[in-house]
């Protein structure tokens, strides 16, 4: 038997390794997705004052610290049983929506986009953000850099620091914004809405106009029927900052809708000895291994799942795109993993529109941004939609607010089982008897999980950046016959 | 003339250091123009083997971020030390362990127990832990060993310079790179680059009157005056025990400094420096009362050594 290891996985945040086992005929027998990192935040947060966790747990991930900052602040509010002022909530959501614009932009143009915009078979040296810019034009490249730069500045105003924000604390926000700052942010968010529209046009012109890409997106190699998870508002529309968590089944029917505090009724996590990352699943259905379908507890929590789990978008332009998305792809739910890229761009537009709404809200500059907690702290769960999936922070404290226990289920982790299955399916579809393993084939296998935008910094509460990948082919005796390695 | 070779690597970090380098924005083009980037996982496609096959000292400058948490992190640190002329501990994790270094307050066993057994969502009735080698029907699967402690880079290999911060602020990153691009002489080995030589208080826009205080407050407990020193208001702020360089970002945003730029020059132990700073603001001379006032500080070790525990005498114990 042969083993192919892909290590490290490129254009992903964090480290990871894929081992693909082949039989003597060169057919895929099994695939394993190994996450080689752990940091153990659950343990070392014990003993810390709970109000410090929004500043400690940001260090899980420097790519999406805003998600951890928000989930943590919400968990702290819950621990102290405190309602935060309306302006504080709007400031948090404004910060968070602008972060989503920046994060989804980076994923589409630098991480996931190159596969489509430049092409899955393009030479490695072209399949990067510079290749995307060459294809869509330097003006577009400048727009990407400009959007990032505006987000950077707005996030510094709102969060205190662009990387590892500090302003959310139990009861609200430590800092408000002035009218001058509001005007500046309003200007930025107007440009972000235009950028969102522009990016959807790129999807349309470069991806949807190319039949080969559409066929690839819709091919069975990249499809998985699983349950879909996402946070929704009172009208069941996508929301990133707050709401109930809704799970729909493989047919799109509501399976459960729950409040963050009840997550333990819905979710459990399975442990395997060969990876540091756990595998969450729907408790009521149970862990059935790495299989999809209605009878498997494996689920997805991705931009695509959020669209599947909701009835629509809360802003007009994004809603129109939502309708077009399902019309084009043949109705709800969509199970084509690669459509996640398109879903992400629709979310980008929603985040931009929502940012603009909030930046124009008259209440946003109010000085009423803090409620001093008075209740005895005990236990709380805080939940947001991180760009890569639903994020759960759960804290238990003593009566002084000193942390006793912490539990975390982070964005990418939700998708660990689904990612493993997607890789296996792609590998089985692409590697047959006698197949020569080319760089293009390995890239197509990577595409299967790149759609999830996995961030193993978050998932292992460990590393990001780019995910290293090694593909090794091993003989039945364990001898390495071939190895492709990148990082 | 060939351009100097630059490598960037991340070990057990959050990725914020990588983003901080990207956040120098258009100056990244100057970096590209002046260096040959031979290794940068988030941007380039080079392989471990490319680095292994380089002659020793082939890399002119290596910026290494992240602490050493696994056997793999340690191996790469050793490899990059061998291949690099100048090795820089980039960011708080590589320099002194940063927040992940707080793990050194617990044992590896208790950490595994918590993560893989005791957390309420975990279903692990077999008591299974991740193992470095797992036998499966198809063969073997390997993952790196999780070390007993998180260790800073200089506890594994000699380090030439330190760039502090969590993350280092982009303007400071650029200042260091520009210095090197211009070929200016470097300070003595072991120096801290990309930071100031005073304390965070030196950059703080708040007014300090060195008021004496009778109790400490936690940040969520009071509304603070936006112009007045936080320590004067009874909020534990690590500014006096923290090196300048960030531009006093956190205190400007209304929250206390937590020390991510490390100890100021001439103060090797950040926690000890913080204790002495606090004892000078307490309004009492009665030892018992001083102790009572100090006891209102919720988590001295986790606050004063928030970023420096793994690199401190305290955190290195039992390594």
Q: Which of A32-41, A400-409, B38-47, B279-288 is least confident?
A: B38-47
B268 vs chain A: nearest CA distance in angstroms? 23
Place of tokens 């965070």: B200
B123 beta partners: A270
Asked whether the predicted pLDDT for residue A200 surpasses 80, the reply is: yes
Q: Could you give the residue range(s) of every CATH 3.40.50.700 domain in chain B?
A: 5-99+148-181
The answer to whether B176 faces chain A, any CB pair under 8 Å, is no
Cβ pair B13, B64 in contact under 8 A = no
Residue A463 lies in a domain: yes
Contact B15 A457 (CB under 8 A): yes
Residue A446 lies in a domain: yes
Q: Which among A319, A335, A351 is the end of a domain?
A: A335
Contact A462 B69 (CB under 8 A): yes
Give contacts of A18 with chain B, Cβ < 8 Å.
none
ipTM attached to this prediction = 0.96
Residue A129 lies in a domain: no
Identify the three-state secondary structure at position A444.
helix
Closest C-alpha among B142, B318, B269 to residue A276: B142
pLDDT band for A128, please (50, 70, 90 cuts): low
Identify the three-state secondary structure at position B252.
helix
Mutate to test the interface with B, among A147, A155, A274, A485 (most CBs of B within 10 A): A274
Contact B70 A37 (CB under 8 A): yes
Q: Say whether the peptide bond before residue B167 is cis (omega within 30 degrees of 0).
A: yes
A370 beta partners: A172
Report which DSSP code applies to A382: E
DSSP A175-192: ----HHHHHHHHHHHHHH
Distances (CA, A) of B7 to A151, A344, B114, B185: 28, 32, 36, 20
CA distance A43 to B233: 32
A112-116, A329-333, B45-49, range with greatest mean pLDDT:
A329-333
Between A166 and A141, residue with greater pLDDT: A166
Cβ pair A430, A424 in contact under 8 A = no
How are the residues of chain B apportioned to helix, strand and coil, as percentages rounded to the nearest 5?
35, 20, 45
pLDDT recorded at residue B47? 63
Cα angle value B126/B131/B135 (rounded, 5°): 85
Asked whether the predicted pLDDT for residue A483 surpasses 80, the reply is: no
Helix (H) or strand (E) holding A397: strand A389-397
Asked whether the predicted pLDDT for residue A485 surpasses 60, the reply is: no
pLDDT recorded at residue B46? 59
Cβ pair A318, A342 in contact under 8 A = no
CA distance A131 to B296: 57
Contacts 24+ apart (CB under 8 A), B289-296: B293/B213, B293/B214, B293/B215, B293/B216, B296/B215, B296/B216
A319 vs chain B: nearest CA distance in angstroms? 32
Q: Distance between terminal CA atoms of chain A? A: 26
pLDDT recorded at residue A464? 29
The answer to whether B53 faces chain A, any CB pair under 8 Å, is no
Q: Which among A277, A312, A335 is the end of a domain?
A: A335
Give contacts of B296 with chain A, Cβ < 8 Å.
none
pLDDT band for A36, please (50, 70, 90 cuts): confident
Burial of A404 (0-12, 13-18, 19+ CB in 10 A): middle
Between A96 and B291, residue with greater pLDDT: A96
A40 vs chain B: nearest CA distance in angstroms? 6
Q: Give the count of beta carbons closer than 10 Å to the beta carbon of residue A96.
A: 28
Cβ pair A362, A86 in contact under 8 A = no
Q: Per-residue pLDDT averaged across A233-252, rounded?
A: 98
Q: Which residues of chain B have pLDDT under 70?
A: 1, 41-47, 315-319
- Sorted by sequence, the CB contacts under 8 Å of residue A92 that are 6+ apart come out as A70, A73, A84, A168, A173, A241
pLDDT recorded at residue A6? 66
Residue A413 lies in a domain: no
CA distance A146 to A191: 10
Which is the CATH superfamily of the domain at B5-99+148-181? NADH:ubiquinone oxidoreductase-like, 20kDa subunit (3.40.50.700)
CA distance A471 to A264: 37
State chain B's mean pLDDT as an integer: 91
The answer to whether B14 faces chain A, any CB pair under 8 Å, is yes
CA distance B252 to B309: 25
Cβ pair A258, A229 in contact under 8 A = no
DSSP B89-110: EEHHHHHH-TGGGGGGGS-HHH
Q: Per-residue pLDDT averaged across A325-339, rounded?
A: 94
Cβ pair B88, B161 in contact under 8 A = yes
pLDDT recorded at residue B318? 38
Closest C-alpha among B163, B166, B193 to residue B260: B166
Burial of A11 (0-12, 13-18, 19+ CB in 10 A): buried
Closest C-alpha among A206, A238, A243, A371 to residue A302: A238
Closest C-alpha among B12, B307, B37 to residue B153: B12
CA distance A271 to A274: 9
Residue A351 lies in a domain: no
Contact A38 B130 (CB under 8 A): yes
pLDDT recorded at residue B42? 61
Asked whether the predicted pLDDT for residue A121 surpasses 80, the reply is: no
Between A262 and A430, residue with greater pLDDT: A262
pLDDT tens, position by position, A264-292: 999 999 999 999 889 999 999 999 999 99
CA distance B277 to B273: 6
Place of tokens 């935060």: A84
pLDDT band for A367, please (50, 70, 90 cuts): very high
pTM recorded for the entire structure: 0.94
Q: Per-residue pLDDT averaged across A167-191, rounded?
A: 98
Residue A170 lies in a domain: no
pLDDT tens, position by position, B57-100: 999 999 999 999 999 899 999 999 999 999 999 999 999 999 99
Q: Say whether the peptide bond before residue A274 is cis (omega within 30 degrees of 0).
A: no
pLDDT recorded at residue A468? 41
**Where in the sequence is the domain holding A232, given as residue range(s)?**
224-335
The chain B residue lying nearest A375, using CA atoms, is B221
Distances (CA, A) of B146 to A35, A41, B16, B299: 12, 14, 22, 27
Residue in A8, A276, A402 nearest the CB of B143? A276
Report which DSSP code applies to A410: -
Residue A124 lies in a domain: no
Q: How many domains does chain A have?
A: 2
pLDDT recorded at residue A25? 80
Between A208 and A368, residue with greater pLDDT: A368
Q: Per-residue pLDDT averaged across A251-258, rounded?
A: 98
State chain A's mean pLDDT as an integer: 88
pLDDT band for A238, please (50, 70, 90 cuts): very high
Q: Which among A292, A309, A335 is the end of a domain?
A: A335
Cα angle value A319/A322/A328 (rounded, 5°): 145
């Amino acid at each position: 038997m042969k083993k192919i290891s892909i290590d490290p996985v490129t254009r992903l945040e964090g480290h990871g390794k894929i081992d693909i086992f082949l039989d003597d005929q060169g057919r895929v027998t099994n695939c394993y997705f190994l996450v080689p990192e752990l940091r153990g935040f659950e343990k070392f947060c014990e003993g810390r004052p709970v109000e410090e966790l929004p500043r400690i747990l940001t260090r899980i991930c420097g790519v999406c610290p805003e998600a951890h900052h928000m989930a943590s602040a919400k968990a702290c509010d819950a621990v102290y049983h405190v309602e935060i002022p309306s302006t504080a909530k709007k400031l948090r959501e404004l910060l968070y929506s602008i972060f989503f614009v920046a994060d989804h932009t980076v994923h589409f143009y630098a991480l996931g986009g190159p596969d489509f915009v430049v092409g899955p078979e393009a030479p490695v040296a072209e399949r990067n953000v510079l290749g995307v810019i060459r294809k869509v034009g330097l003006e577009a490249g400048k727009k990407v850099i400009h959007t990032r730069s505006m987000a950077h500045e707005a996030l510094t105003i709102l969060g205190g620091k662009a990387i590892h924000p500090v302003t959310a604390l139990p009861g609200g926000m430590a800092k408000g914004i002035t009218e001058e700052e509001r005007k500046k942010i309003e200007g930025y968010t107007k440009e972000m809405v235009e950028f969102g529209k522009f990016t959807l046009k790129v999807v349309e012109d470069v991806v949807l106009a190319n039949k080969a890409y559409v066929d690839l997106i819709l091919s069975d190699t990249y499809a998985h029927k699983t349950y879909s998870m996402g946070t929704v508002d009172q009208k069941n529309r996508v929301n990133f900052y707050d709401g109930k968590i809704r799970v729909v089944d493989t047919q799109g029917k509501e399976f459960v809708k729950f409040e963050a505090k009840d997550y333990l009724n819905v979710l459990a996590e399975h442990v395997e000895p060969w990876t540091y990352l756990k595998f969450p699943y729907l408790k009521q259905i149970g862990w059935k291994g790495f299989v999809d379908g209605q009878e498997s507890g494996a689920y997805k929590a991705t931009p695509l799942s959020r669209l599947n789990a909701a009835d629509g978008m809360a802003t007009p332009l994004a809603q129109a795109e939502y309708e077009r998305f399902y019309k084009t792809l043949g109705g709800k739910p969509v199970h084509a993993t690669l459509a996640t890229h398109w879903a992400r761009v629709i979310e980008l537009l929603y985040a931009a529109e929502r940012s603009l709404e909030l930046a124009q809200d008259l209440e946003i500059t109010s000085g009423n941004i803090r409620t001093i907690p008075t209740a005895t702290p005990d236990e709380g769960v805080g939940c947001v939609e991180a760009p890569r999936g639903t994020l759960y922070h759960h804290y238990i404290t003593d009566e002084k607010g000193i942390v006793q226990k912490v539990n975390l289920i982070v964005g990418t982790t939700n998708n660990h089982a689904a990612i493993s299955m997607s890789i296996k399916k792609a590998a089985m579809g692409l590697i047959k008897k006698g197949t020569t393993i080319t760089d293009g084939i390995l890239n197509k296998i990577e595409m299967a999980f790149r759609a999830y935008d996995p961030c193993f910094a978050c998932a292992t509460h460990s590393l990001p950046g780019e995910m290293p990948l090694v593909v090794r082919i091993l003989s039945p005796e364990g001898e390495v016959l071939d190895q492709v390695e990148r990082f | 003339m060939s351009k100097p070779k630059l490598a960037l690597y991340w070990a057990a970090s959050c990725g914020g250091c990588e983003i901080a380098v990207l956040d120098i924005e258009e100056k990244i083009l100057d970096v590209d123009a002046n260096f040959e980037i031979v290794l940068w996982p988030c941007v380039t496609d080079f392989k471990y083997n490319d680095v292994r096959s380089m002659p020793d000292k082939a890399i002119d400058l290596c910026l290494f971020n992240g602490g050493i948490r696994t056997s793999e992190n340690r191996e790469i640190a050793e490899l990059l030390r061998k291949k690099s002329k100048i090795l820089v501990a980039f960011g708080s994790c590589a320099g002194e362990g940063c927040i992940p270094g707080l793990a050194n307050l617990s044992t590896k066993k208790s950490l595994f127990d918590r993560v893989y057994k005791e957390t309420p969502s975990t279903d692990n009735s077999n008591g299974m832990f991740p193992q470095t080698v797992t036998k499966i029907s198809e063969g073997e699967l390997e993952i790196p060993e999780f070390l007993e402690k998180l260790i800073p880079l200089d506890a594994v290999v000699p380090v030439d310079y330190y760039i502090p911060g969590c993350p280092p602020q982009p303007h400071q990153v650029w200042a260091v790179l520009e210095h090197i691009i211009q070929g200016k002489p470097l300070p003595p080995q072991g120096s801290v680059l990309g930071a100031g030589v005073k304390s965070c208080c030196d950059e703080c826009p708040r007014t300090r009157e060195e008021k004496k205080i009778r109790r400490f407050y936690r940040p969520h407990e009071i509304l603070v005056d936006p112009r007045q020193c936080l320590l004067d208001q009874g909020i534990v702020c690590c500014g006096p025990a923290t090196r300048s360089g960030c531009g006093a970002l956190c205190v400007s945003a209304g929250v206390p400094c937590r020390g991510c730029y490390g100890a100021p020059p001439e103060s090797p132990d950040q926690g000890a420096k913080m204790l002495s700073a606090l004892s000078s603001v307490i309004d009492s001379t009665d030892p018992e009362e001083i102790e009572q006032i100090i006891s209102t500080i919720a988590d001295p070790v986790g606050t004063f050594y928030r970023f420096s525990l793994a690199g401190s005498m305290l955190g290195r114990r039992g390594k």
